Structures are given as C-alpha cells and as structure tokens.
A and B are shown apart, each in its own frame.
Chain A
Amino acid sequence: MAQALNGQLRDFSLPDVLQFILQQRKSGRLTLTFHHQKAEVGISRGNVSHVDIDGRNVETVLRDWLLSSGRMSQEDLAGVESVSRSMDRSILETLVAKKFISAEERAEWIQIVAEDLICDLFQWQEGAYEFNTDLPASAMRGVGINLSTEMITMEGMRRLDEWPRLRDRLGSPGVQVSLAQAPTSYADLGPEALILRQLEQASAPVTLDDLEHRVPFGKFRLYDTIVAYADEGYLTLRQDGKTFDSKLPLRTDAEPNKSSSTALLLAMGAGMMVLALVVNWMISAAIGHLAMVPERGFIGAETRFEAIKLHNAVQRFRYLTGDWPNSLDKLQSGTSVTRGERNSSMGVEYGYGNWGTGYEIWLRERSSESRKANP
C-alpha cells in the first residue's frame, strides 16, 4: 500500500493535512487513529467524499435516527438493507426509493451529518494520520458527499473556537430543554427545526443527552441551535428545577479591556524610550565629564583638525560680522562648517562660549569654575 503522506497530528493538524491534500488535488483515503479510535475520510480531488468514525458514517447516523425517531421500524430497516444489498445501492437511495425520506431531505441530511462528523474530527489534537492514494475514494461505497475542504476547515475551526462558549452557556448535559413557544413556521427555521418538532412531540422536558439521540445532529450543532432558539424564546432551559437564561453566562468580548491594553502598551513603549533617553543622557554626561580631548589615533587626528576648522569658522564669522557667534549653530551661515563637524567624533557635542572679548571651544560641559572665571 503506497503511503503518500503520514505523520502525527501534533505536528500537522487535520486542517493542515486536508489543506495540503486540497492544494495537490489528490484523491485517496485519509486514515486517522487515536488510541482505539479510528476514522476514515474519503477524499476526491481534494474535497471530502466520505467519512467514517469508528463505524459511524452518514448512513448509520441517519439509519439510527430514523429508528429512534420512529419513522422506520426494525423490519422496515431489514427490508431496506436487503434491497440495498441486492441492488448494490446505498441504504439512503433505497430509503428515498421506498419514500421513507424525500430526495431533498436526503441531500440535506447528508450535508448536515457529514459536516458534523468531519467537524468532530477536528477535535483530535493528537494521533496519527496516513493518506493513501492507491485506494481511491471511489472504492469506498459513497452516499454522494461532496464537501468543500476549504469550507469544512473553516467551519471546523469556528466550532472549535466557539465550543467552550457554548458549553459554558448550557452547563451540563443534564440540562432540561422544553418548548416554550412554537414558531409560526417551521419551514423558515431550516432542518434544525427538527429539534423543536421533537420537543413538541415530547410531553415532558428532555435532557440534552436524550435530545442528542433523537436528532441526527452533532453535539455542536445541537447546542448551537438550542442556544439560538432559547435566545429567540422558543425554548426554556432548566437545571435542577430552575430555569436559567442562556444569555447571562455569555462571555462578553472585552472591548473596554482592549482600549486599556492598548493604552498600557503605548505607555510601555513611551516608558521604554524615556528610560533609554535617561540612560543615554546619564552615560553621555558621565562620558562628557570624564572625557579629555583625545590625542591618539584617528580620533586624536580628527579632533585636531576639527579644532582647526571650528576655530577658523568662529574667527571668520567674527571677521565678517564683527561679532562673536552666539553658538556654533550660527556658523552654518557664512562659514562652511557642517553640522557633523560641529560634533566631535566621540559623539559628544562641542561646547562653545563667548564673553565679549574672546571665546572658547571645548569638548564637554564647561566646569563651573571655568564659568565663574569667564561668565
């Protein structure tokens, strides 16, 4: 058997694997194993064409539901299975032929059940995967599933994301659900309205666990729909004999927190820069106070030539204007000393001071004694 792809789900999650297969437009069978559980996903040109989790597939799920909901008896089922075998057709096709369900219902249910089964698989964070291309999906008896991998991946991730919230809102599986008010039209609510029908038929409140066996939906779809119906006011939720509002436990997205976090981050950034500037100032001040005019190496050479340039520029300014410049910045006009030349090679600015009759240029902050001597 040729294994085109295999590995561990902790390295490449199911969405990654599915996406990769979709990109390659491959067909084959993807087998997932986790402890004693095994799942098979048929893939045709990248899209999902079959799904089976430990023997649960679209056919079995729908068959079990028809039996449990009383739409079909065991004898009917045996007959349907026998016909399917002899005619080599899927049970669902036979069910349609025998008018247990309509063709539209069949297509709808296949989509819903397959989607729920695949989405359940997304919860497998551990385990192994193996994709074989020599056993095409067509070899598996299909029921006409054609799920877009792109779409199902998105949906699966959405369900993973929202599942904790739903679980929090509904509490335990022992929560009792009862019909509070029937909708004006079941048809408008789509296939999920089946839940309301089941509750209408039941005389007493039904637990979530029970309800799960009466409808062919996966857990997420069931909980999601119940929460939505409860919000609409169609259902009442009870736990330990008390009704509760499913809206209350909703975790609100912390909008105010967002602004406070943004402000906090901005403050952190500003603080960091201020701290950096303070450190720079302290070090520069320390270096400035300790620095002597460097004499050796090219710093010594540059300082020598920079000194000549600066003195020349100051004297030229005075010669041309009759006044000493107030600062070295003034030298830019009328002389050719660039900004770079007004700073020392050490990165410390040259100081300058004039007292009417003369001037001085130094490398660092002038000492207070010198300032007193030449105010």
Chain B
Amino acid sequence: MVSKKLRLSRLDLTKVGGLILALAAASVSSTLPRTPLQAGFQEAQEKFKAFRVQAPDLAAILTGKPVQADRIQAEFYALSVSDKAGVAFGNAALGLWNEKLRPGSGDPWIRESSRLSETDLGVQWLLVLEQLQNGTKSSFQLQCQGLEASMLSQGWMRLPEAASWLLTSAGEAASAQQTAKAEVARAMASRLDPVSPVPEWAQTKASALNFDLGGTYAHGLEVYNRILAYSANQQILAFNLLRLLRYTLALTCLLLLLTWVIRYWPYIVHELAERLPRDSSLQLRYSLLALIPVALMVAGLGLVSLCFLAAVVVWRKATKLERTLISFIVLFVGVQPYLTGLESTISSHFDQAGTESVYQRVVQEGWSDDLQDRVEKSLGRATSDERALLTLSKAILLRKQGNYLQALDVVREAHRLNPSDSRISTSLGNQLFLIGQYDTATKIYQTVQAGDWSNGPLLFNLGQSITWRGRTDSMTNLIANASAIARYRIDVVARQNSNAFQILPPNRLVMDPEMSPAQMWTAIYENFLAHRWTVDRWDLQTGLIDLPPQVIFPFSLALWGFLLWWGSRQARRKTLFECRTCGRVMCRVCRKGIHCGNCFRRLSGIEEVELRNQLLDRILRESDGRRKLMRLTMDLALPGTGRLMTKPSFGAFCQIFLLGVCLAYSLNLPNFLSLYPVSETLVGQELAIGILVFLYTVGGIQLVRGLGKEARTAMKEA
C-alpha cells in the first residue's frame, strides 16, 4: 500500500515537472517577434550610434544638428572602407550637405549610399527617415528610391511597416502645415507598399480635402484597382465587413437585452430582494442583486452565457414583440461559432501559422531568418495537403537567397507532391526560366494558362519567357488579351522595374504566382464547409468562463424551445403586482392591498378626500417623474434605449442599431482595414464619431427639455 502511494507520488512529480517545462517553453515563445525591417532598423540605429562617435559632424548633417564644415571631408576620408554601413551614412551625409548647398549636386552621393547599403534594409530605412526629418524633398525621394530598389531586388513586394511610419509622419507634417512634406511622404508610402489600398486611401483623403478632384479620382481608382487585383485585400475587406456586421448585431443585441433587463429588473429580482433583510431600502436590495451579473462579468463569465441568462430572466415578462426579438437574439448567439468560423477561415489566409499566409509572406517578403524558420516549422508539422505549398514556399525562399539549382530541386519536389496546383507549376516554370530553359518554361506557362487571361503574374512570366526568345509581337498580343486586372498587375511590376533598375535582378524577372480572387474565395468556401478552422473560445472573444463553442448552437436551440414552452404555460398564481398609485412592483408579502408599502404609509390615516386626492396626484407625479428621469438618463447613456423602454417602436430599434453600428465602428472593434500596421485606417471613423456625438447631444437635449424647468424638483423627487 505504501509503495503504491510512493509510486503515485513519483508519477505526479513527473507530471509536475513536465508542466513546469511546458510553462518554460511557453514563456520563451510568448515574445512578440519583430519584422526583419524592424530588427534591421534597430541594428542600424546601433550602427549609427557608432558612426556618430566616429564622424560626429557627418552624423550631425543627417540629424540636423550644427556642423563644423571644415571637418566634414576629413571625417569622411577617415571612415573605414570595411564598415559598409558607416560609409553609406557618410555618403548620405555628404549628399545631403551638397544638396543643401547646391540642389541636384548631392545625387551621386545619395545613390552611392543606397548602393552601399543595398543588402541592409535597416540602414536604408534609417537613412530615409533622416532624409525625411532633416533633408530636402529631392534627397528624401532619392533615398526612398534607393530603398525601393533594394527592397525589390531582394524579393520584397512591399514594406508595410515603412509605409505606415511614413503615413504617420505625413499626418504629423500635415498637422504642422507642412503640406509638401506630407504629400511626398504619402507618395513614397504608396510606392513602398504598392499592394495595400491604405496608403492610396490616405492620398485620396488628402486630395479630397485639398479639393483636388483629379487627384482624388486617380487615387480612388488606384484604391479600387488594388482591392480588385490582390486577393489579400479582398480578404481583409470581407473579413472586416463580416466582423463589423457581427459586432454591430452583437452590440445591438446586448443593448436590447440590457434595456429589457433594466426595465424588468424589479420583476426579475423582487421576490429575491424580499428574502434579503427587509428593514433595508428596497432600492439598495435591487442594487445589490444587480451587482451579481456585474460580478459574474468581472469574474470572467462570458457574454454568450450572460446573453442566455438575460433571455431567460426577461422572457416571462416580455411582450410578444420583445419575445420575437429575444428569440432572434438567442438564435443569433447560437450561430456565433459559425460566424466566427467563417471569420477564422478568411483570416487563416493572413494569420501567422496558416499555410496560405506563410506562402503569402514568402511571396511578399524577401528572405529572412524569421521567415525561413517559420517555413521550416510549418513544414515540420504540415499535413500532406499542406506540404506541397510549403515546399514551394521553401523553394521560393531558396531562389530569393540565390540558390537557383537547389530551388529547382525543391520546386520539383513540390510539383511531385501536387502536380495539379497551378501555382507550383508556374513556380516550376519560373525556376526553369531563371536557369535559362526558356522553351520548357514557356510550355509550362502555356499549359497553366489554358485560355485564362486574368492571371497577371502568369501572363507576365509567359511574356518574359517569350520576350527572351525575341518574340515581342507575341508579347504585345499577350498584353492586349490580358484582362484589365491582369494588365494592372503587369503594369505595376513593369513600372517598378523601369523606375528602379537598368538591368533587372533575377527576383524581378519573374513574378511569384498567387491565388486569384476566384480561387481564393472557392478555397475559403470549401474550408468553411469542411470545418477546417475550428473555433475556440478566444475567437468568440467572450469571457474567460463560457460555454464551449461546440455546444453553443444546440444549447441555444434547446433554450429557445424551452422558452417557447415555458412562456406558453399559464402562471399558476399571480405572484407579482404593481402598485396602483406609483406603479412599483410588489409581491404578496410587501403589498398593502392595492398599494405598495410606500404609498400605503403616505396615504393611510388621511380620510379627507381633498387632501387625499392631492397626495395621490403628488405620488403619481413623482412616479411619472421617476420613470421619465430613468428614460431620459438611459437615452443619454445609450441613445434609444430609453425610448425602447417606454414604448417599443421601430424607430427606437433603428436608433439602437445605429448606435451599435457607430459604437462598433468608432471603437475600432472590427479593425476595419487596419489589419495593417497603422491605426489611422478606419475609413469614415470621423463620421461614425460624428453620428455618436449627434445621438448623445440629442439625448442631452432631450434630458434637459424633458425635465424642463422642474428639472431640479424632478431630480429631487426621483
């Protein structure tokens, strides 16, 4: 017996040890990773610190500090040639110095600084920021072009973190009335992120505010094209619209339930309140009982459970219309896992670990340790379905590192795993093209194309392979037949190439294939039907303690059925009454006939009819005042709820819905378009806040007008 006990305790110790190890592992993985550009920028700042020690006057040029002009040359020539970053800083500083002395004369120096830091995006980015802060317009533009060229040559499609920083700086410059600086920063942001519609949207807004109709149209059209051309943008838009709708409906449902719970609170808790010490104020007892749901929420009970609880407590007292709405709410809460499942399916295309999102990152980013690590990790735990695409991701990363032959082997392996995937076939064509097998590549492209004129990257690659064989007429024919969106994608790449390069680097010779919007939506639909993305508690964003997602829908159906059955049952005995004079809720215990204890105490013993009528009038006035104050306060706190409490109407419902939309939107709940590293992307947030302000102002005016001259008396009486 003793030995058994000992064995058990050893086993427990092992378990505890395992748990501690797991926790330790968790602690390591919980640090939020930086992007390669952010990591590079931090390193660049350290390098700049060293440069400042080495060449303080050159550094002062870049940071806009006073400079001793006679020491500049000496400091520059003293820089160590092996310190590439230092020399790049020095060139940029001299470029800026000359540019300020004689516009245009600093160009060669700045170009040289870009060339020297071609492989170090962090240094380039730091230089861009210094030029923005302390340089001239042309020095900033030149430095930005250098960064863009480096970015593109290394296989990056976009640098959203740089673009977002520039947008923030543009916003600050605009606030400081530096319109030109803001304009150029926005334009550069758009070039550094040619995929997202956000930088273009910022430009559209700025043009509209300046009454530049042409600019507004051009940038607006660019926003439209970016959304149509890139499936990721469509995903983000759809995801956010769905989320906005879900949050709006959820908020509306919560507001409705809250209104009804407040309205029927005395009926809900009166009998319970009567069990508390009766020598205390009834209002205090009501308030204490109201603390129970609040405490449950604080303790972590989720909104799903609280919604069901509210529906149950309100149901018996609710009117027919209210019961219909409660039924809708119960069922709406029930379908939450399906709605969030749809959201999860859409967002799996841009989360951190999804196969599609990893592939998207590989296409859009250049090589980095972090990305390499992510691909390897994902490959390590991939299912057979996911393996082909992840192998392709690995191949593309190898290509971006310059290992073409190894990349060809890996892409062949991906093709063996899934020969029907057009993206893998296209990539195989790309690798063959890059090693000079143009005819084979063309054949592969043509097989994949098979009359499809909407795939921009594929048509670009096909066009390249044809051109390299000298068949420019076929290339022209290809462009002419391409769909508008495909042509847009090709134009973007062609424009970037002609702006940044005289000789195209390998990463710019081919375009990596992407999922077309149609393919993407089909995949999302299939994944959703296959329940590939399970919904966990976090996805529902409710409390820490809540119903598990799997049981929410069956539970809501069962609850709805129960409510219908329960509501149709006749009450055996009436237990709650309303005071005929003041309307307070009372039970058999606390009622004094037709009056509540309060009215009874005030009226008893008064037999003179005149006096009695006066007192009755006064009680009536007080209770009316109390109800009115409650309604107006509710209308002020949550516009529409007071009206709904007094008289349920379609207008009141619409007002609450409008409040729900504006709250959901202005509180940034759906994160509209802001799955982007800048927070000022809520389109029309000002409008939503404006409507909210209007609603609250109306609530305030209603309160003041409703209470009128007797406000003080009404407050006092209530």
Do A and B interact with each other, yes or no? yes
Chain A residues near B (Cβ < 8 Å): 10-13, 15-16, 19, 122, 148, 150-151, 153-158, 161, 254, 257-258, 261-262, 264-266, 268-269, 272-273, 275-277, 279-280, 283-284, 287, 289-312, 315-316, 318-319, 335-338, 340-341, 345-347, 350, 357-358, 360-364, 366-367, 369-370
Given contacts A261-B279, A265-B285, whether A289 and B300 have CB atoms under 8 Å apart is: no
- Pick the interface stretch among B177-185, B248-256, B324-332, B669-677: B669-677
List 28 A–B pairs whose Cβ atoms lie within 8 Å, in order of A's numbering: A11-B573, A12-B574, A15-B594, A19-B593, A19-B594, A151-B609, A153-B594, A154-B595, A257-B277, A269-B288, A273-B294, A273-B298, A276-B297, A287-B544, A292-B26, A292-B30, A293-B352, A296-B348, A297-B536, A298-B239, A298-B243, A302-B675, A306-B32, A307-B34, A312-B164, A319-B45, A346-B538, A364-B30
Chain B positions 170-220 with a Cβ under 8 Å from a chain A Cβ: 171
Pick from A154, A283, A340, A357: contact of B604, CB below 8 A.
A154
Q: Which residues of A contact B284 (CB under 8 A)?
A: 262, 265-266
* Chain B residues at the A interface, C-beta cutoff of 8 Å: 23-24, 26-27, 29-35, 38, 41-42, 45-46, 129, 160-161, 164-165, 168, 171, 239, 243, 276-277, 279-281, 284-285, 287-288, 291-292, 294-300, 343-344, 346-348, 350-354, 357, 533, 535-536, 538-539, 541, 544-545, 573-574, 577, 580, 592-595, 600, 603-605, 607, 609, 612, 667-668, 671, 674-680
For residue B573, which residue of chain A has the nearest CB? A11
Contact A262 B295 (CB under 8 A): no
Cα(A5)–Cα(B301), bound, Å: 49
Contact status A292-B544, CB under 8 Å: no
The answer to whether A13 and B593 have CB atoms under 8 Å apart is yes
- Other-chain contact of A276, B42, B295, B574, B674 (Cβ < 8 Å): B295
Q: A157-B595, A298-B343 are in contact. Are A283 and B300 (CB under 8 A)?
A: yes
C-alpha spacing A276/B344, complex, angstroms: 31
Contact indicator B35/A311 (Cβ below 8 Å): yes
Determine which of B352, B577, B679 lies in contact with A338 in the assembled complex, contact meaning CB atoms within 8 Å: B679
B32, A293: Cβ atoms closer than 8 Å:
yes
Residues from chain B with a CB closer than 8 A to the CB of A310 are: 32
Contacts A265-B285, A293-B32 known; A336 to B593 CB distance under 8 Å? no
B300 touches A279 (CB 8 A): yes
CB contacts (< 8 Å) of B23 on chain A: these are 289-290
Q: Is B677 within 8 A of A308, CB to CB?
A: yes
Once the chains are docked, how many angstroms separate the CA of A191 from the CA of B667?
74
Let me know if A300 and B351 touch, CB within 8 A.
Answer: yes
Minimum Cβ distance to chain A for residue B459 (Å): 30
Please determine whether A265 and B288 come into contact, CB atoms closer than 8 angstroms: yes
Contact assessment for B347 and A301 in the assembled complex, using a CB-CB cutoff below 8 Å:
yes
Q: Which of A150, A273, A299, A350 is within 8 Å of B32, CB to CB? A: A350
A272 to B277, CA, bound (A): 17
Return chain B residues, CB-CB under 8 Å to A347. Answer: 541, 544
- B608 → chain A, closest Cβ, in Å? 10
> Is A308 a contact partner of B38 (Cβ separation < 8 A)?
yes
Q: Which of B42, B168, B279, B593 is within 8 Å of A254, CB to CB? A: B279
Residues on A with C-beta less than 8 A from B680 are: 336
Q: Is there contact, CB below 8 Å, between B676 and A305?
A: yes
Chain A residue contacts of B674, Cβ below 8 A = 305
Whether B292 contacts A272 by the Cβ 8 Å rule is yes
Q: Are A338 and B299 in contact (CB under 8 A)?
A: no
CB distance from A261 to the nearest CB of B (A): 4
- CB of A131, distance to nearest CB on chain B (Å): 17
Beta-carbon contact of B291 and A304 below 8 Å: no
User: Helix, strand, loop or mixed for chain A's interface?
Assistant: helix
With known contacts A279-B300, A315-B38, A269–B165 Cβ distance under 8 A: no
A308 and B26 CA atoms in complex are apart in Å by 21
**Other-chain contact of A305, B30, B276, B294, B675 (Cβ < 8 Å):** B675
User: Within the assembled complex, what's the spacing in Å between the Cα atoms of A186 and B164?
Assistant: 98
- Contact check, B593 vs A363: say whether CB atoms are below 8 A apart: no
| CA A302 to CA B671, docked complex, whole Å | 9
Closest residue on chain A to residue B162 by CB atoms: A312
Question: Which listed residue (A303, A336, A340) contacts B352, Cβ 8 A?
Answer: A303
Contacts of B42 in A (CB 8 A): 315, 358
| C-alpha gap A258/B634 in the complex (Å) | 31
Instruction: Give the residue among A279, A290, A301, A312 with the most B Cβ atoms within 10 A.
Output: A301
Residues of the A chain whose Cβ atoms lie less than 8 Å from the Cβ of B671: 302
A298-B343, A301-B350 known; 10 new pairs, CB 8 Å cut-off, are A154-B593, A279-B300, A293-B29, A296-B353, A297-B348, A309-B164, A312-B161, A312-B165, A316-B165, A335-B168
Chain A residues whose C-beta falls within 8 Å of the C-beta of B41 in the assembled complex: 315
Q: A279-B299, A338-B668, A361-B31 are in contact. Are A158 and B604 (CB under 8 A)?
A: yes
Of the candidates B129, B544, B678, the one whose C-beta lies within 8 Å of that of A319 is: B129
Cβ A276 vs Cβ B168 within 8 A: no
Instruction: State whether A308 touches B298 (Cβ < 8 A).
Output: no
User: CA of A145 to CA of B346 in the docked complex: distance in angstroms?
Assistant: 81
B298: which of A15, A258, A277 is its contact (CB, 8 Å)?
A: A277
- Contact (Cβ within 8 A) B603 A154: yes
Assembly CA distance A274 to B609 (angstroms): 52
Are the C-beta atoms of A370 and B277 separated by less than 8 Å? no
Q: Contact between B538 and A19 (Cβ–Cβ < 8 Å)?
A: no
Could you tell me the distance in whole angstroms from the C-beta of A18 to the nearest C-beta in chain B?
8
CB contact under 8 A between A363 and B165, given known A301-B675, A308-B38: no
A25, B302: Cα distance in complex, Å = 52
Question: When chains A and B are docked, how far (Å) is the Cα of A357 from the Cα of B42?
Answer: 10
> Given A262-B280, A318-B45, A336-B679 in contact, is the A296-B351 Cβ separation under 8 Å?
yes
B539 surroundings in chain A (CB, below 8 A): 297-299
A270, B438: Cα distance in complex, Å: 78
Beta-carbon contact of B26 and A154 below 8 Å: no
Alpha-carbon distance A81/B338, docked complex (angstroms): 88
Q: Which residues of A contact B544 (CB under 8 A)?
A: 280, 283-284, 287, 347
Q: Which residues of A contact B351 (CB under 8 A)?
A: 295-301, 304
In the bound complex, how far is the Cα of B607 from the Cα of A315, in angstroms? 80
Nearest chain B CB to A347's CB is how many angstroms away? 8
Whether B168 lies near A158 (C-beta < 8 A) is no
Residues of B within 8 A of A336 (CB): 168, 171, 678-680
Bound-state Cα–Cα, A151 to B605, Å: 9
The 10 closest A-B pairs by CB, nearest first: A300-B351, A298-B347, A15-B593, A261-B277, A295-B353, A276-B295, A157-B593, A307-B32, A367-B27, A276-B298
Instruction: Flag if A360 contacts B31 (CB, 8 Å).
Output: yes
Chain A residues with CB under 8 Å of B34's CB are 307, 311
> Cβ of B26 and Cβ of A158 under 8 Å apart?
no
Closest to B539 in A: A297
- CB neighbours of A366 from chain B (8 A): 27
CA of A248 to CA of B595, assembled, Å: 30
Name which residue of chain B comes closest to A300, CB basis.
B351
Q: Are B299 and A276 in touch, CB under 8 angstroms?
A: yes
Q: Give the distance to chain B from A164, nearest Cβ to Cβ, in Å.
A: 14
Cross-chain contact of A362 among B32, B168, B346, B603 (Cβ < 8 A): B32
In the complex, which residue of chain B has the Cβ closest to the Cβ of A159? B604
Chain B residues whose C-beta falls within 8 Å of the C-beta of A277 in the assembled complex: 298-299
- In the complex, which of the residues B300, B347, B592, B609 contacts A157, with contact meaning CB atoms closer than 8 Å? B592
Inter-subunit contact A280/B348 (CB<8 Å)? no
Q: Verify B593–A309 contact, CB threshold 8 A.
A: no
Instruction: State the CA gap A262–B285 with chains docked (Å).
Output: 9
Contacts of B600 on A, CB cut-off 8 Å?
154, 157-158, 161
Nearest chain B residue, comparing its CB with the CB of A277: B298
The distance in angstroms between the C-alpha atoms of A301 and B239, with both chains bound, is: 11
